[in-house]
Structure 1
């Protein structure tokens, strides 16, 4: 609200003069109160302050504000406007910002990356000896313990540990040859 325009116009009505005085006297305090309620959102706080002043104007309480404690009334109106705005936003579907497509795209990229990584690892596993490949599959892909893997493969636990150790070393070397770190 531009106070200078209201104050400088010729033939200013008593209501307009009262509105200007009300803004000058109570505006900063109401604005600070609304800013606290809104967590520092300046634009919304200015909208709430303007709506509060308009409600004062519409209630025609300005010309005879001596009879009424106007500041508490303004604080109550501002608080109610903040609550109403919050309820309105909560009742509507979630607003979508222009950047959400980027996060959706990134999740698609993550899925594609996972799929490509799985393909690379599958190909790299084919380069290992069958014994190493079976031990790694039993331990990591079947999620077996050493004892469970040894039972499933029909070999000793120490052999499973050895095959997994050397299989992982070879897998790392194969992946490095293919440019995967």
Structure 2
């Protein structure tokens, strides 16, 4: 059975692909797009068995209509309206350090607004990568105190950044 399907698909291609391709090239002027439209048209014909059962002229008329609809749909698509063809692809963008510098300056200013105890805990936790237990050992304070300072320090830091207009 699969070889029968392959033979029917080959016959469909042989009978209709070239005229449909010429028609689409006439409409679009684009050989690559014509290949895609012909492929989609043949696929739709293949998926519509009652079309294949009709006489070849009716089948070809149906395929011309489908191809025209595909060309019109592509012309109207949002992708086509937004694409601008260029000769060479643009160079990839390289992020500069400007945003990172401004972020660091904002954070530095906000950290300066914290009390020494809160700033010390926040810096050790987030920039030093220390755990609550490690910070408590270094500062010789209970872990609960470190957690409390970290909580209130981060809250004050967030408020300080919001006052400077940082919303993220």
When the two structures are superposed, what TM-score results if normalisation uses the length of structure 2?
0.47
Structure of larger gyration radius = 1
